[in-house]
Every structure is written in C-alpha cells, then in structure tokens.
Amino acid sequence: MKLSGFQDSPQLSYPPFSEAWRFSQLESFFQQDLSPAKAEFTSASHVEISGAQTQINSLPQGVSLSEIKVAGSDFWSTLKRSGVKYKITITEAMTQPLKISITRPSTQSHEATLAFIEIHVLAGIKASILQDYSGSELGHTHSETLIELAEGSTLEHSLSFKEGAQSINTHTITTKVAKRARYEQTILSSDSQKTRLDLLTELMGEESFAKLRSLSLLKLKSNVDVHSQIIHHSPDTAADQLAKNLLDGESKAIFTGRIKIVRDAQRVHSAQLNRNILKSKKAHAIGQPQLEIFADDVKCSHGSTTGRIGENELFYLLSRGISQNRAQELLSHAFIQEVFTENSPESKTFFKQFLEQQ
C-alpha cells in the first residue's frame, strides 16, 4: 500500500503543508510503501509491537490492553488498520512501569510503519509508562499517541526515539489533563535524517499540572523539529517545560513552543525554556518560544538560549586540575542529566540504557 493518498486525506491529524512545517519537508515520506510495525508490550519487564507479531508478555498489574477496531474503507481507515493500534487503560495502581517498544522491522528499503497508541489513566491512579521507538538505518515511522488523564491521576511518561540515522519520522503526542491530574513527560531523541515531534498538552481541569522535558542528542547531519503547544484551558493550572538540544556535527534543531492561556484561565503559572549547546561550528539551533495569553492574572516566563559550553563553568573545572577534554565531557553530561534529575529510578534506568548506547 502506497502512502501517497495520505496527503489528500481529510482525517489527517495535522496538515504538513503549512507555515508550521516549513522546517520539515516530507515529500519523500509519501512515496513509500507501508510495512507493518513490530510492537511489544510488557511490564518494565514490557509490550512489544510488530504488526502481526505483537507480543503481549506479562503485563504489570493494573494494565488492560485492547486492539483498537477501525471501521470504514476510506484511505485513512485502511491506513490505520494496517498499523499497530492499541488502547491501554490503567485501572489500578501499577506494581511496575509498563514498557512499550515499537520497532520498525529491519529492512534495507524505505518502508513506512504506523503506530497508534491510546493511553487512559483512570481517576486517582498513578501510572508510569516507558515507550521506546527504534528502527534500522532507513525507513519511516509515523506514530500518534493520545493520552487522557482522569481527575487526580498521575502519569510519568518516558519516551525515547532511536530510529536510525537515515530515517524520517513524524510523531504526535496529544495529552489531555483533567482536574488535579499530573502529567510528567520526558523525551530523549537521537540522530535521524529528520524527526518531527508535535506535542500538544492541554490542561483541561483546575489544578492540573504538566512537566515537559525533552533532549535531543545529535551528532550527524540530523534534523529534529519540535513543535510544542501547551494550552491552559482552566484557571489554577501550571506547566513547566524545558527543551534542550546538544548539537554536534552538522545537526540542526528547531524548537517552536507556544504557551496559550485562554480567557478566564486566571492564576496560571507557565514556564518554558529552550536551551541549546552547539559543540561544532556547523551545528545550528532555532528557538521560537511564543506566548498567547488572554487572561490577565497569570505568571509566565519563556526564553531560548543558544551557545557554546559556558566559559565560566569550563574555567571552574580547569582550575581544579580537570583537563579541557574531560571538562567538556563533564559539562555535556551535566547538560544532559538536568533533564532527568526529578525522574523516578525506573525512568532514569530506561534513559541510562539509551545514553550508554550513544
């Protein structure tokens, strides 16, 4: 099945041909054949997804999993049916995190893989999900993750993307956070020819909170384009976002982040910071933080910084006898670790494995 019908589909969940996509031209993506993904679901221990080969190992307590049924014969339904599509409901306190591994089958051709995951966390439940995407050098993955957090629930959501240096990928993560619920997202991504991440976080109910952390570690001629939108629909909501990029080689990172506060959503606290470190002369970062505020009693901050490793930090380490190279390494490590400082031990271990392979 060819993906070219994709472009004309009215159900397409985003329009890839608008201003917001100017840094991500994806024509080649639509010329591809479709191949099934491989998925695996298990407890931190994990779920592995691989199309026909989906493996459901022993799930952690409190997790129910079902395949999403797609009706209809239009292009989009047909397309969606060919992908991995699962609904996960967290119904009671989890004994350990659920791990979802989505793997693009190993192939030399430019094939595409689709994955649709819905996550529902029921009221008052505390959940943790580790979700990783991996694939061979070539190919494309498109994924959509829809999350709904019911009143008073908490989700620690750790995501890693390691999809091959020549791959082209598009991922959307859409989260709705109800009253007094808490969403903690951490994203780690590595080299790919192109990765586009669309993050939409909607704070629906009072006293809901979102903490978003992301880090791209790029060394090659890679390109990551992160579009984040945080919408405060209710008063007394809070969000805290830190988007970091550590860029070497000829890599390029784009961060477009918007905080939107609707009318009457008073007493909102929202902070957004984009930090980029350029380790080579050819690395490139673009930061575009944006605010759209329609309420008058809010506290917001946003900013973007781009630079080399700080001279003062470097001198501090040198003045203690640490050599230039080692000091650079330590400061890069510090830049990376800041993203994970508040994560649970399980989440830290999940990312540590990823970082060790870098």
Partner 1 sequence: MLDIQNLTAQVEGTNILHGINFHVKPGEVHAIMGPNGSGKSTLSKVIAGHPSYEVTGGSIDFEVNRKKIDLLSLEADERAKEGIFLGFQYPVEIPGVSNLDFLREAFNEVCAYQGLDKMEEAQFMDLVRQKLKLLEMDEAFLHRDVNAGFSGGEKKKNEILQMALLGPRLALLDETDSGLDIDALRIVAKGVNALRSKYNAIVLVTHYQRLLDLIVPDYVHVLYKGKIIKSGDKSLALELEKKGYDWLIQEQH
Comparing CB distances to partner 1, the nearer of 207 and 313 is: 313
Binding to partner 1 by CB under 8 A, coded x per residue (else -) over 291-320, reads --------------------xxx-xxxxxx
Do strands 84-90 and 63-67 pair parallel, antiparallel, or not at all (unpaired)?
antiparallel
**Among 201, 280, 198, which Cα is nearest to 245's?**
280
In order of 77, 113, 207, 281, the CA distances from 24 in angstroms are 25, 18, 35, 22
Q: How far is the CB of 279 from partner 1 (least distance, A)?
A: 16
Report d(CA 52, CA 84) in Å as an integer: 9
Grouping H, G, I as helix, E, B as strand and the rest as coil, residue 192 is coil
Comparing CB distances to partner 1, the nearer of 284 and 348 is: 348
Q: Does 346 bind partner 1 (CB under 8 A)?
A: no
Q: Does 324 bind partner 1 (CB under 8 A)?
A: yes
Considering only 337, 342, 353, 358, the residue that binds partner 1 (CB under 8 A) is 337
Q: How far is the CB of 328 from partner 1 (least distance, A)?
A: 12
Q: Does 351 bind partner 1 (CB under 8 A)?
A: no
Q: Does 345 bind partner 1 (CB under 8 A)?
A: no
Q: Interface with partner 1 by CB under 8 A: which range of 143-151, 192-200, 328-336, 344-352?
A: 328-336
Q: How far is the CB of 271 from partner 1 (least distance, A)?
A: 16
Comparing CB distances to partner 1, the nearer of 109 and 305 is: 305
Considering only 50, 127, 327, 354, the residue that binds partner 1 (CB under 8 A) is 327
Report d(CA 188, CA 356) in Å as an integer: 13
Report d(CA 119, CA 47) in Å as an integer: 13
Q: How far is the CB of 215 from partner 1 (least distance, A)?
A: 11
Comparing CB distances to partner 1, the nearer of 292 and 342 is: 342
Q: Does 323 bind partner 1 (CB under 8 A)?
A: yes
Q: How far is the CB of 341 from partner 1 (least distance, A)?
A: 7
Q: Does 45 bind partner 1 (CB under 8 A)?
A: no
**Among 133, 116, 106, which Cα is nearest to 81's?**
116
The torsion angles phi and psi of 221, rounded to 5 degrees, stand at -85, 65
Longest dimension (CA), the chain: 68
Q: Does 321 bind partner 1 (CB under 8 A)?
A: yes
Question: Which residues share a beta bridge with 278?
Answer: 247
Burial class (CB in 10 A: 0-12, 13-18, 19+), 323: exposed
Do strands 63-67 and 223-232 pair parallel, antiparallel, or not at all (unpaired)?
unpaired
Interacting residues with partner 1 (CB under 8 A):
311-313, 315-324, 326-327, 330-331, 333-338, 341
